[in-house]
């Protein structure tokens, strides 16, 4: 796998090494695609797209293709001679005609192992497609938090964490996860420069780290998912560091970075 390395940083940067800048965008709508060509972008959608993607790759899915509309998904499905799984949601519920919704419990190894998945969600897949011009595009969530932070540090590029949010609005669960990553970066690297948004997220994380599930339950989207009987998803998405897979977007597909 060809990695787009910026500089071979060890975890504690060499003296006089330019500090790595860490920034956070609260929605993909604020991203200038022309301004991420030299950055490692970490896409976050805790509830639930990036949690689902990490689970699917952990359970052996060959790759995922993120699309923005159900129509795109069905067209691609035909192009692939229906040799794929259709997964995703509208308003949190499985799209009519899709095989799977967006609950990580659906993406078991017996279902996804060795399969291609065409994925459409309201926020997460849109955020991924908005950041395709990044030097490196990494998929993270609480499930693979430390693994994805370590992977990103090895790339040695400035870091932009992109929160998917909720239809163009701030989503606190994504911001708190961004803060968790800022905290990990600070622990693993001595020479980092945090923007105010990164610092704010880290402060939010410090307030929430003792009860991530409680934070998800209080979030707008978490309350919505509970209302449509998907509280179990929150329990699964709150688990920290249960996976070491790091999915990346590479040449149009989301694949396991160690492929």
By CB under 6 A, how many residues form the interface with ligand MLT? 13
Q: Looking at 27, 40, 55, 102, which residue binds ligand MLT (CB under 6 A)?
A: 102
Q: Looking at 27, 40, 55, 121, which residue binds ligand MLT (CB under 6 A)?
A: 121
Q: In angstroms, what is the minimal distance from the CB of 199 to ligand MLT? A: 25
**Which segments within the chain are labelled E, that is strand?**
20-25, 39-44, 63-67, 85-90, 93-94, 116-120, 136-140, 158-163, 192-194, 247-250, 253-256
Residue numbers 25-44 binding ligand MLT by CB under 6 A: none
Closer of 194 and 221 to ligand MLT (Cβ): 221
Whole-angstrom distance, CA of residue 144 vs CA of residue 244: 6
Q: Looking at 28, 124, 179, 222, which residue binds ligand MLT (CB under 6 A)?
A: 124
Closer of 145 and 194 to ligand MLT (Cβ): 145
Whole-angstrom distance, CA of residue 42 vs CA of residue 135: 11
| Interface with ligand MLT, residue 246, by CB under 6 A | no
DSSP letter (8 states) at residue 22: E
Whole-angstrom distance, CA of residue 146 vs CA of residue 129: 24
**Interface residues with ligand MLT (CB under 6 A)?**
45, 47-49, 89, 92, 102, 121-124, 164, 221
């Amino acid at each position: 796998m060809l990695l787009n390395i910026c500089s071979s940083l060890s975890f504690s940067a060499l003296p006089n090494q330019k500090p790595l800048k860490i920034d956070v965008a609260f929605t993909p709508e604020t991203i200038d695609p022309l301004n991420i060509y030299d950055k490692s972008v970490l896409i976050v959608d805790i509830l639930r797209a990036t949690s689902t993607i990490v689970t699917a790759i952990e359970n052996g899915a060959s790759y995922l293709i993120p699309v923005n509309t159900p129509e795109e998904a069905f067209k691609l499905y035909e192009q692939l001679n229906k040799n794929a799984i259709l997964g995703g949601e509208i308003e949190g519920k499985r799209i009519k005609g899709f095989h799977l919704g967006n609950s990580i419990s659906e993406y078991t190894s017996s279902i996804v192992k060795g399969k291609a998945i065409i994925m459409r969600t309201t926020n997460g897949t849109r955020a991924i497609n908005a950041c395709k011009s990044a030097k490196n595009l990494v998929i993270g969530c609480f499930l693979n938090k430390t693994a994805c932070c370590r992977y990103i540090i090895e790339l040695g590029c400035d870091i932009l964490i992109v929160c998917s949010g909720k239809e163009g609005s701030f989503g606190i669960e994504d911001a708190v996860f961004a803060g968790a990553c800022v905290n990990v970066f600070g622990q693993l690297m001595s020479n980092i420069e945090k923007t105010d948004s990164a610092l704010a997220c880290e402060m939010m994380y410090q307030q929430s780290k003792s009860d991530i599930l409680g934070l998800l339950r209080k979030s707008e989207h978490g309350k919505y998912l509970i209302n449509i009987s998907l509280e179990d998803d929150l329990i699964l998405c709150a688990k920290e560091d249960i996976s070491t897979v790091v999915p990346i977007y590479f040449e149009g597909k989301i694949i396991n970075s160690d492929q």
